[in-house]
Structure 1
Amino acid sequence: MKLPPADSELGKLMATLPRAGRVDWIGLRPKRDVVMDEVDEVVAESGGGLAGDRYSGGSGKRGVTLIQAEHLPVIAALSGHDEVRPATLRRNLVVSGIPLVALKGRRFRIGEVLLEGTDDCDPCSRMEAALGAGGYNAMRGHGGLCARIIEGGTIRRGDTVVAIAD
């Protein structure tokens, strides 16, 4: 995604993030079609993924998947549930307090790890089974963000999420 020039009005607006976010939940997908493992910390491998996740040795564009904590109640309401647990949505990190959409195409830090938002994390057809009929559409626009790991390290529950100034 190409961002507008940093000195343009739109560029200034898009770069304005009034506060840091926080990692609320961490999950790993050890294999396809198995329950996610909830963990308190995980090693992020530069150019790869998260240690213990089935995508850890991938190309890196989808090294980490993130979803907005504030969107979980929306997805629940749109899919007819009282609550949706993070593991149901199969994203690695649940982040609160910072709009993930603002990190698309930008670099950001989670604790000591440097990442770059690469693309929207669109829902897959498996959300129909996970959430019931209409689950796929309930997640559209709320699926989160994929990110590449630029500099590895450990991500911990409670770590801050901060955009890096251009």
Structure 2
Amino acid sequence: MTIYDFSADSIAGTPVNLGTYRGKVVLIVNTASKCGFTPQYKGLEAVYQQFKDKGVEVLGFPCNQFGKQEPGSADEIGAFCEKNYGVTFPLFEKIDVNGGNAHPLFKHLKREAPGLLGTEVIKWNFTKFLVKKNGTVYKRYAPRTEPKELMSDIEKLLAE
């Protein structure tokens, strides 16, 4: 099973088959607009701008499960990200990443790349998953990991 076996609704409500990203390196992030890590949107956009023409996609999945730090509607989230951080990478509808209602994509990501001590739970906003061109999960990164710290791993996966 790979990320290509899943779909998710875009922030505009349109279904997106993740098979669309086949052959690309994909960075998947659970995001929030009112979090201490929210400024990472700027770094995620910088990664996207630097690598999008080389075959990298950044996918943002807003989530309100951590301190209710993503309370807005899809329209509000999209406008916030564009206005404050110039986000042009794809955003998706707000989802759950933990618990019984967790999006199937995130259940898969957590199974494939558990966190510290093998735990599958996502502990906070801006947990990142880097996916190889073949759709398999390469690595999970903690919320504190700045997007720029992923550059060497992205370049390595692009060269594969």
- Structure with the higher helix share, 1 or 2: 2
| Bigger radius of gyration | 1
Question: TM-score, normalising length from structure 1?
Answer: 0.30
**Greater fraction of residues in strand:** 1
